[in-house]
Amino acid sequence: MQLHDYVAAIVFGAVIGIVARILLPGRQPIGLILTVLIGMGAAVAGTWAADRWDLHSDKHLTVGGQTYDWLVIAVQVGIAIVGVGIAALLARAFSADSGDRYDYR
């Protein structure tokens, strides 16, 4: 792999993570770096899952000479939505102000 492959993976992961946050209803109390990391993980996991279960379509997207399968992208975004949702739940559960909802007076 060359440097531009790593840069493309980071950008693609960021796009997948941001799309997942847009599609997931409500506010997610997680930062941009975690969103990008979840997107990158989802891109890897989605590619693996699509190859494993032979999920491919004849519809393709070409960006900068690279060809992407729409069905694989859909699997990647779906996994990213689940990842962002889990991260948001964990962030809410472990946030410092989560104890404010109980009044002990």
Which segment of 2-6, 18-22, 39-43, 63-67 scores lowest on mean pLDDT? 2-6
Band (12; pLDDT cuts 50, 70, 90): confident
Torsion angle of the four alpha carbons 6, 7, 13, 17, in this order, in degrees rounded to the nearest 10: 150
Higher pLDDT, 51 or 8: 51
With 0.85 as the threshold, say if the pTM is over it.
no
Which residues, in sequence order, are bridge partners of residue 69?
60
Q: What confidence score (pLDDT) does residue 77 get?
A: 94
